Amino acid sequence: MRIAILGGSFDPIHLGHLQIAKTALKKLAIDEVWFMPTFSTPLKQGQQASFADRCFMIKRAIYGYRRMKVCTLEQQLGGTSYTIDTVKRLKKQYPMHEFCWLIGMDQAIRFPDWKSSEELKQEIDFYVFSRGSEEIEVPNDFHKVAMELYDVSSQEIRQGKKLYMLPKSVRMYIGKKGLYIEGMVQNVMSEKRYRHSVSVARLCVELAKAHHLDEHTAYLMGLVHDVCKELPYESAAVEMKYYYPQLQQEARAIWHGYIGAHYIRTHYAIYDKHIGQAVFHHVKGRNRTDYDRILFVADKLDPSRGYDSSKEIAVCRKDLKIGYELVKKQQEEYLEKERKG
């Protein structure tokens, strides 16, 4: 068989990667495309998702494509992934196959920086995929394949941009696991708001641990609870009119909870009902579940707010319901004082 290797971090895999694989199967004389996730990439900073998560996302993305597979050879090699080592191992492990390597334009430009690049060109054929209108200089003996490439990168995905360029199954997995969520949230917040969100998330985890609740769920709801807090008024008003017309008369300061609950479902694919409900009610503090109570008190008692909330936190750690009632009463007294003052 003639196998085309598509290597990369796939952090995460997106429709652009699938587009290259499909084009290779259509235009090149090959039998299969093997996706080769790097274990550790020498020319990039460390991956944000684990090797196992990245492999699982690839498997989800290519499900149903019988001529696409995942190859975990670089995990077997361990350490930093150098293509020259991978190619030699491939030839040794699969002596009956013939291999070629698929790369994008950005990789072709940086090819001279690859380990043993001249030797590598002698070991395997390279096919460079570029936009049809692009004129690029590539190393000698590289084969160029023109196509209409999707304008998307894994880095943009990690920042919460162009999430529509993810296969649906991959997007659902990212949302469930909370992969890349820090970068996505940070990208839509001011630095101060993000610090608050991280601090709230940590306190949520602390309280969840104390009361034997799911710490991952607690962390996610704390991190995303204010994701729409800094949305401009005009945009927030449109969202409220369209999705929650019955709640438009509520105070504007409350809107971000309602809009945020919708946003994390539609944008981040976070469908956990505990997270959605806690975010929806976190401003007013609806007393429905322990997750609701945890987010409410963590938001109000956040240590980064600059006042000593250690006593209240200790009460919440010992008895969540009593702590919730205490914080709720304090908030009501504060709001009443503000109305009078």
User: Can you point out the beta strands (E) in 165-236?
Assistant: none
The predicted pLDDT at position 317 comes to 97
Amino acid of residue 59? K
Phi, psi of 33 (to 5 degrees): -115, 125
Helices (H), 62-124: 73-77, 83-93, 105-109, 117-123
Is-same-fold flag (2-174; 188-340)? no
DSSP per-residue string spanning 283-337: TTT--SSHHHHHHHHHHHH-GGGSS--HHHHHHHHH-HHHHHHHHHHHHHHHHHH
Structure confidence at residue 170 as a pLDDT band (50, 70, 90): very high
Tokens of 132: 């049809």
The predicted pLDDT at position 288 comes to 85
pLDDT (average), residues 172-194? 96
pLDDT (average), residues 83-107? 93
Structure confidence at residue 3 as a pLDDT band (50, 70, 90): very high
The predicted pLDDT at position 325 comes to 95
The predicted pLDDT at position 341 comes to 55
Segments making up each domain of the chain, as ranges:
2-174, 188-340
- Give the model confidence (pLDDT) of 10-66 as tens digits: 999 999 999 999 999 999 999 999 999 998 766 565 458 999 999 999 999 999 999
Higher-pLDDT residue of 338 and 51 is 51
Phi, psi of 295 (to 5 degrees): -65, -40
pLDDT (average), residues 116-131? 91
In angstroms, rounded to a whole number, what is the distance separating the alpha carbons of residues 257 and 228?
8
- Chain centre distance of CA 24: 27
Domain range 188-340, CATH class: mainly alpha
- Give the model confidence (pLDDT) of 195-239 as tens digits: 999 999 999 999 999 999 999 999 999 999 999 999 999 999 999
Beta bridge partners of 127: 102, 143
**Mapping DSSP to helix (H, G, I), strand (E, B) and coil, where does residue 45 land?**
coil
- Give the model confidence (pLDDT) of 277-317 as tens digits: 999 999 988 878 999 999 999 999 999 988 899 999 999 99
The predicted pLDDT at position 306 comes to 86
79 has pLDDT over 80: no
Domain range 2-174, CATH class: alpha beta
pLDDT (average), residues 86-106? 94
Buried b / exposed e along 266-284 (16+ C-beta atoms within 10 A):
ebbbbebebbbbbbbbbbe
pLDDT (average), residues 88-94? 95
- Give the model confidence (pLDDT) of 237-284 as tens digits: 999 999 999 999 998 999 999 999 999 999 999 999 999 999 999 998
Q: pTM of the full predicted structure?
A: 0.91
In angstroms, rounded to a whole number, what is the distance separating the alpha carbons of residues 3 and 25?
10
Average of per-residue pLDDT values in the chain: 92
The predicted pLDDT at position 44 comes to 60
333 has pLDDT over 90: no
Q: Tokens 């306190």 map to which residue?
A: 203
The predicted pLDDT at position 339 comes to 65
In percent, how much of the chain has pLDDT > 90? 79
pLDDT (average), residues 136-165? 87
Structure confidence at residue 136 as a pLDDT band (50, 70, 90): low
The predicted pLDDT at position 133 comes to 58
- What CA–CA distances, in Å, run from 32 to 15, 29, 132, 286, 321? 18, 10, 24, 54, 58
Q: Tokens 């080769």 map to which residue?
A: 36
134 has pLDDT over 90: no
4 has pLDDT over 90: yes
